[in-house]
Amino acid sequence: MMKSFLLLIILSLITGCEAREEDRCQGGWVEFTCKYPKEKEKYQTIKVVSPSKVSIESSRQNEWVDDGKLSLYHNTSDRSVRVVVKSLTRSDLGKYRCKFDQRQTETNLKLKHARCQTPRTESATEKTTHTITCDFSGKLKKREKFLCKEEGSGCVEIQSTGRFTLTTSRRRLDVSVSSVSSQDAGVYWCGLRSEDKNSRTGLGRIQLQVQKATWLPGVIFGVVSAAVSVLVFVLIYRRYKGSKTTINEDAQSEDHGYAEIEECPQKSHSGTGEKTLYVTANFPTNPSAFTHPPDVQSQRGSGDVSGDTSYNVGGHDQRPASSTVNQPSSSSENPPSFSNDSLH
């Protein structure tokens, strides 16, 4: 009679037994929910026991408690307890008991094998756009897909808002992150949700590393470009300046020509004398002007000459050229003679 009474009490404490079947992969994780035995009651202490007799207990509310293998979150607003089992192995198969003070619920968690995604590490650069891809195959493609980021003991799902854009197809999930920052670094999981929305499982682990943006290549390119531009400008300027100088020199050489005439006077009884005459000639720009022999005229007075002598050298439209001649006095009555050949 006593044994029957005790058995009746134990059975009355077990308010529910729920069977769940989850896809799982070796090394992944699974999360499920235990509802309050009585929705209107309040519970202070929550305890979860695994099939391998590993347990976790907490009196904290609305925060995660983690012992390494199991984690629980007592959500008072939702009147439930979220339980996470990490690093799944075969020993994690079986019944999980959620105890609310003196009352207890059971969850029979049946895990079946699912193909895991190979853990990988990805790198992103700050202020760029990076895309994380989750691939699913077989029957998994029909399930609801998600990407979450580890935050403390839980994994917070990424929503398609702000800098995050989710693109879903039957076989894959793409999550694009724009303007990547250091806060985006961490561990992400590709996962699936159960049809009743009460449980989910993580199948693929992704370690995202964020690198600082480097501007060194751009700075080097800018400096090199500026140096090349300056060099090209200097070369063009020097070439232009040299060309202009050459043109000016040619123009000056065409405007004036100088001829030195050495006058050798005839010998006289009073002695010999030698004079040097400098004549400035303006040459015509028209080469045909030189087809006529130059005409040299000299005007002298009788007797000794000491003064100015005018010479007219050239042909058509030539300006007279003046020269000053200082000639010592000579007793010879015969003036010195000039040859046209002396002007060539």
| Residue type at 109 in one-letter notation | L
Average pLDDT over residues 116-121: 86
Tell me which of 315 and 48 has the higher pLDDT. 48
Tell me: pLDDT of 261 over 80: no
Q: Which residue segments constitute the domains of the chain, with CATH numbers given?
A: 12-113 (2.60.40.10), 116-216 (2.60.40.10), 257-265+273-331 (no CATH)
Tell me: pLDDT of 102 over 70: yes
Tell me: pLDDT of 88 over 50: yes
Candidates 252, 250, 257, 263; CA nearest to 280 is 257
158 near 132, Cβ under 8 Å? no
| Three-state DSSP class for residue 128 | coil
Q: 21-25, 168-172, 322-326, 340-344: which has the highest mean pLDDT?
A: 168-172
Tell me which of 238 and 160 has the higher pLDDT. 160
Average pLDDT over residues 232-250: 71
DSSP 287-338: GGGGGSPP-------SS---EEEEE---STTPPPEEEEE-----S-SSPPP-
pLDDT at 308: 47
| Greatest CA separation for the chain | 181
pLDDT at 245: 62
Candidates 186, 124, 192; CA nearest to 150 is 186
177 near 133, Cβ under 8 Å? no
* Phi and psi angles of residue 12, each rounded to the nearest 5 degrees, phi first: -75, -25
* Phi and psi angles of residue 286, each rounded to the nearest 5 degrees, phi first: -90, 115
Candidates 143, 20, 164, 153; CA nearest to 92 is 20
Tell me: pLDDT of 277 over 80: no
Tell me which of 54 and 273 has the higher pLDDT. 54
Tell me which of 249 and 177 has the higher pLDDT. 177
| Residue type at 130 in one-letter notation | H
109 near 30, Cβ under 8 Å? yes
Both tokens assigned to 64: 């995660």
32 near 96, Cβ under 8 Å? yes
Stretch among 33-47, 130-144, 200-214 having the lowest mean pLDDT? 130-144
Tell me: pLDDT of 98 over 60: yes
| Residue type at 330 in one-letter notation | S
The overall average pLDDT reported for the chain is 72
Measured between its terminal Cα atoms, the distance across the chain in Å is: 156
Taking only the tens place, the pLDDT of each residue in 143-181 is 889 999 999 888 999 999 999 999 988 889 999 999 999
- What is the reported pTM? 0.56
Distance, C-alpha 323 to centroid of its chain: 76
Distance, C-alpha 331 to centroid of its chain: 98
Tell me which of 88 and 265 has the higher pLDDT. 88
Both tokens assigned to 227: 């140096």
Quick one: pLDDT band at residue 343, thresholds 50, 70, 90?
very low
